[in-house]
Structure 1
Amino acid sequence: MMNREPAMDINHHAMTRRRFLGLSGLTVLAGCARVPTTGPVTQVSASGDTGGRQGIAVDPQPPPRGASPDLVVAGFLQSMTSPQDGYRIAREYLTTDAARTWDPDSGAVIYDASTASPVVTGTSAGLKAPLIATLDPAGLYQPVAGANLSLDFGLTREDGELRISTPPSGLVLSQFSFERAFHSVALYFTSLTRSYLVPELVHLPAEASTPTTAVNGLLTGPSQWLSGAATNVFPTGTKLSSDAVPVDSSGVAVVPLSREVTRLTDAQRRQIAGQVTWSLSTFPEVSRVRFTVGGTDVMIPGAAEDDTVSTGLFTSMSPLLSADLPNMMVLKEGRLGQVADQSGVFSPLAGLLGSGTASTAPAGIAVDRSGAFWALVDKPRRTLLRWQQGARTATPLATGVGLLRPQVCTDGSCWTISVQANSSRFIVVGQSGQRIEVRADELATRRVLAFSVSPDMARIALVVAENSARRLAMLRIRPVTDQSTGVIADGLTELRLDTTDTNMALLDDVGWISATDLMVVARATTDSPGAPFQIAVDGSGGIAVGPLSGVDVVAVSTLPRADGINALALTGAGQVLRYEDRYRWRTIATGATAMGICV
């Protein structure tokens, strides 16, 4: 008899994303979306398709008669907050020709308004400001460094009124407005190398952030960058068979799909149901999902009696853990031990590492998520070892030069990076002891200082040094296309975090705290104290994780989870701090040289 899913609600807290940065500046907003933001939307509940998430309420006004240059520019910028009717109000500030050709869906720029404002004279108007990031037409965020925004709005008179003749090619957003009026939606695709779902963030205006746009974005597929590591199981040509994904009063989202999905196997239907259900878990108005073709329910293996599903049916597709009170391990005076959460009592582990000395202590440690075994880098940083708790010896796995702190990944493989001068290469050993080749040609001329493999094993976050800079970068993990074994790590993308916060100018460490978020250790200058920051996978929305004062954080150890944060921080003075929800760090150990966290 087929096991069917009980009627249980989606855990919305896992993937709901809304970011706020306290940056001052003009309230200037614009938006773009993966799919068109105009067109009919069917509302079937009191909350409608948006679930009441409207961001900042803005009521833009058309230009008054005899408006001054200041009013025309300010009105145009503000009216870009309203995408209704194809940005009808914004177009009223443009000349007839400009209103006809302006394409607000072509993308957007995000700028720093704290040091700039529109420059308006009696006959002209412009805007110059540091450029922070861009959004492409799909809503994908890309940080930009060392560039400035320079606009000339080309004020001219038409029928006796001042109008803008040369608008920007797309939309213009201040950072202040972007963080408050845009929603981040995680769209989930299928990994090419593992059985996990892989998220990709898109940023949508609040009014366009709906289950309908999310499903349409999912059907469009992953970005070109992510497509090397993830794919859609949906057959080519699959689309929504109606204009909307309605959500009824009981929270059931009905996803009407075209007939292409009828060709899928049971396993494939389950896979696409997992993709959609996890993607819709962003929306609090959605508790369950039903799929239809031609008005008939699509049978999803394991679905409830009413053919609905929730994320509870697809927990195996997520590599995240639920661990509110993880085990905290500390290397202290050469011995590895567990620290009790409340008392702070240090209890050495049995075996080699629990009875070691400072002279034989490893330079880097990493624990398996379940705490079953450890990966070690010896003090000379030349040997990667594996150690089973209680064992009197450690097993050598591989050798290299300048090995970085290792990581035990979701599949049990042990990773480190061998660094020599300005060249870096991965050293990876599988759970059964076999060497796994990771081709990363782009690291052959770069010096890596720290790294962290994502829990879905589709991305690698890196701290890369270049001259005096230490920046965050991202690699994707994709399968080798020929008959060789191993994987390829390529598509190196640099994410400049100092464009949004100068306190993140120099990075020391990085670790994944969820499927879509990282924790980094960053500082403003080499002489400034290090502090932890939370940053999205695409480099957007950096916020300090604190408060912390009087300490210099140099490293973090993280355990990715579905909601909340599991993290330890190590200070330069040897303190180990445990993060507690509600933005509080608590000292749990002193005199430490390394740390690890597991369930």
Structure 2
Amino acid sequence: MGADREGGARRRRGRTVAYAACGTVLLAGCATMPDSGDLRNVESTPRQDTGVRVFAVPPAENASSSEIMQGFLEALTSDDPQYDTARKYLTTQAARAWRPESSTTVLADGPSITTDAPPSGREQTGSRTYVLAGNRVATVDAQQAYAPADGSYSTKVHLTKDPKNGQWRIDAPPEGVVMGKSDFQRNYTSVDKYYFATHTRVGATGEPVAVADPVFVRSKVDPMTQMVRALLKGPTTWLGPVVRSSFPTGTALQKGVSGLTPDDQNRLTVPLNDKAARVGQARCAEMATQLLFTLRNLTPTLESVELRGPGRHRLCELTEERAESDAWHASAQSPEYLYYLDGKHRLVRLPTGSTGTSGAPVPGAFGEGAKMLRSVAVSRDEHTGAGVTADGRSLFVTSLIAGGALGTPVVTSQGVDVKDDRLTTPSWDARGDLWVADRDPRHQRLYVLGAEQGASKPVEVSLPDLPGRIEDVRVSADGARVALVVAKDGKHSLLIGRIERDDKAGDPPAVVDPRPAAPDMELVTAMSWAGDSRLVVVGREQGGVHQMRYIQVDGSTLDGPAPAALSGVETIAASEDERVPLVAYSEDGIVRLPTGAQWQKVDKDGTAPVYPG
């Protein structure tokens, strides 16, 4: 979403007043637009400095219908908290009925504006209709959830002239908010809110596993309070079936609360209504953990959260250290080793922080070369390895300890084509389940091997109708989502599916409601999870060249620089801990990308690099 970030002065005749010292920009609300002839489109605002807030100005006295139209669209892109200025462009009744929070429609450019002439060819005095049009890029719904979109956008906006005062106002505004892509990038930021996986706990004490639920909030409109409200309202519809919130139903901020901000000790106090007044300490700690994980996205220096009930009654307080010990989330786990296959197809490992260029064989059968391997996965506790044999036919699981036996294969494919029809690279989630797909075109299957059975008994996962054959599988650390590369007619698409389980009923897990995560790419050749809700993807857009970039599970593209270019990438490996270097297998062998540096060679003979997972 960075195609039109470059700046340049906005060319319009309206008044724009900037207050640099206060970090405020006023957008002209009455830019000139003729009542007849060609209408000027609404240009998307160039990206502003992050410290600048943008406010619109109210309609001018006796502004023309076109100026009212233009001013209203300008006001939609401002940082006005409740869109009060935008409402001044509406009739009294329309201002009461309009719900800007219901949706945001993002267009490739600012909306084009044309006059919708009546069938008679003559405009009624005191009535005017304009048509807003453009190419859709995405929508953000009332839950603040982002979804890629395409196709054309067109909606009518009707204006009327008040017969008493002669002022034009909009009496039929567009649904929600509509703006161009660069205005959206300036106004909104993606933030993860956190819930707990319904069916996953880890560790000896059964820690709950945090699952990131990305939403978009207006970045300069009290974002911390926005995020607390969004978290309390519950998970987005897509993720909801596989996560839970520790907040009691109906929990909300106390009336009138706004402007939440940490104090000088980096502690945030959150006043809640009476719905949370009687929770026990264990549940309150989980509530505070959800808040702390969520708000550290916005304020990394946040150290503790205190929850209070009515009458300033203290419910609980939680520090960052306590939250990290009471709940598990992937981005807080740092892998001890990088793993890959050496020139003899043995599994070797290299300490994550090492600058060395030669891995040491792992203990056990995989390091001894008992079987030649072509792809591997290592459990997230780094105690167990899973390897697919060089012919792609068999999957073995073994302990990474000296003397560990290889045993018999746990999954065997009957696919004919050695390269394309057999087993994918395996993948582990945090609860210890191992996932692998059999690409045999005669019977495509996705298997999970449960931790309870020691990853030795494959269970076939229920799959929806997919638009092609599974080429690659990567389960998220939280076990709530799975990334699938699906191939059809020369295209390789990336989908994110929700993993639903019913352990009590004994039913197999199911992948449900897969949605596109990289809709602009027609060929995805490699991917890896690279954060709680982020993946790194290698692929090609239609008519473009191969590139590497970060994407969110909701299909949005993250702000910030993409990884440095690298040619001939066949495999990419990333850790959810963003401090750990990217690693790839390319035409130069195994290479890594330390922070702030260029790609560096690790092992020219190595293949199939992976971090735990």
Q: Into which bin does the TM-score normalised by the smaller protein fall?
A: 0.7 to 0.9
Aligned residues: 540
Distance 2:79 2:169 in 1: 20
2:143 paired residue number: 138
2:541 pairs with one of 524, 534, 537:
524
2:462 pairs with one of 440, 449, 464:
440
1:151 paired residue number: 155
1:552 paired residue number: 568
The structural deviation recorded for 1:21 is 6.6
Distance 1:111 1:587 in 2: 42
Alignment CA distance shift 1:76-1:262 (3 Å): closer
Counterparts of 1:86-165 in structure 2, within 5 Å, are 86-113=82-109, 117-119=112-114, 125-145=130-150, 147-154=151-158, 157-158=161-162, 159-165=165-171
Unaligned runs of 5+ in 2: 11-22, 24-48, 118-127, 201-207, 416-421
8 Å contact from structure 2 (residues 108, 134) kept in 1: yes
Distance 2:141 2:490 in 1: 31
1:216 paired residue number: 229
8 Å contact from structure 1 (residues 69, 125) kept in 2: no
1:394 paired residue number: 406
1:225 maps to a residue whose letter is W
2:531 pairs with one of 500, 503, 514:
514
1:568 paired residue number: 583
1:41 paired residue number: none
2:594 paired residue number: 580
Counterparts of 1:310-329 in structure 2, within 5 Å, are 310=320, 312-320=322-330, 321-323=332-334, 326-329=337-340
Distance 2:92 2:248 in 1: 43
* Cα deviation digits, residues 127-171 of structure 1 (max 9, x gap): 3322111010121101113x1112343455445455444421110
1:244 maps to a residue whose letter is V
Alignment CA distance shift 1:407-1:271 (3 Å): same
- Say whether 1:23 aligns with 2:29: no
1:185 maps to a residue whose letter is V
* Cα deviation digits, residues 525-581 of structure 1 (max 9, x gap): 59x6533211112111246632215x12222122211x435421222x252221221
- Say whether 1:62 aligns with 2:58: yes
Distance 1:567 1:509 in 2: 13
- Say whether 1:269 aligns with 2:254: no
1:133 maps to a residue whose letter is A
2:497 paired residue number: 475
8 Å contact from structure 1 (residues 344, 588) kept in 2: yes
Distance 2:503 2:70 in 1: 53
1:534 paired residue number: 550
Distance 1:488 1:373 in 2: 25
1:407 paired residue number: 427
| SS of equivalent residue, structure 1 residue 196 | strand
1:23 maps to a residue whose letter is R
The structural deviation recorded for 1:172 is 0.9
1:590 paired residue number: 604
Counterparts of 1:130-209 in structure 2, within 5 Å, are 130-145=135-150, 147-154=151-158, 157-158=161-162, 159-194=165-200, 195-209=208-222
The structural deviation recorded for 1:442 is 0.5
The structural deviation recorded for 1:233 is 2.0
The structural deviation recorded for 1:110 is 0.8
Distance 2:485 2:355 in 1: 33
1:416 maps to a residue whose letter is V
| SS of equivalent residue, structure 2 residue 324 | helix
8 Å contact from structure 2 (residues 423, 436) kept in 1: yes
| SS of equivalent residue, structure 1 residue 76 | helix
Alignment CA distance shift 1:173-1:497 (3 Å): same
1:34 paired residue number: none
The structural deviation recorded for 1:253 is 1.7
Distance 1:371 1:481 in 2: 25
Aligned-residue CA RMSD in angstroms? 3.5
The structural deviation recorded for 1:453 is 1.2
Q: Which has the larger radius of gyration?
A: 2
1:231 paired residue number: 244
TM-score after normalising by structure 2: 0.78
Distance 1:262 1:88 in 2: 34
Distance 1:99 1:318 in 2: 45
Alignment CA distance shift 1:592-1:444 (3 Å): same
Alignment CA distance shift 1:366-1:201 (3 Å): same
Distance 2:333 2:503 in 1: 35
| SS of equivalent residue, structure 1 residue 99 | helix
The structural deviation recorded for 1:437 is 3.5
8 Å contact from structure 1 (residues 531, 553) kept in 2: no
Question: Which moves more between the two structures, 474-483 or 531-540?
Answer: 474-483
Question: Which moves more between the two structures, 154-163 or 442-451?
Answer: 154-163
2:224 maps to a residue whose letter is P
TM-score after normalising by structure 1: 0.80
Question: Which moves more between the two structures, 585-594 or 532-541?
Answer: 585-594
1:5 paired residue number: none
Alignment CA distance shift 1:329-1:214 (3 Å): same
1:6 paired residue number: none
The structural deviation recorded for 1:204 is 1.1
Question: Which moves more between the two structures, 405-414 or 53-62?
Answer: 53-62
8 Å contact from structure 1 (residues 319, 456) kept in 2: yes
| SS of equivalent residue, structure 1 residue 441 | coil
Distance 2:4 2:598 in 1: 19
8 Å contact from structure 2 (residues 536, 551) kept in 1: yes
Distance 2:84 2:576 in 1: 44
8 Å contact from structure 2 (residues 346, 373) kept in 1: no
8 Å contact from structure 2 (residues 593, 599) kept in 1: yes
2:374 paired residue number: 363
Unaligned runs of 5+ in 1: 1-18, 29-46, 48-52, 301-306, 499-503
| SS of equivalent residue, structure 2 residue 70 | helix
Alignment CA distance shift 1:143-1:445 (3 Å): closer
| SS of equivalent residue, structure 1 residue 344 | coil
8 Å contact from structure 1 (residues 423, 443) kept in 2: no
8 Å contact from structure 2 (residues 335, 611) kept in 1: no
Distance 2:9 2:496 in 1: 31
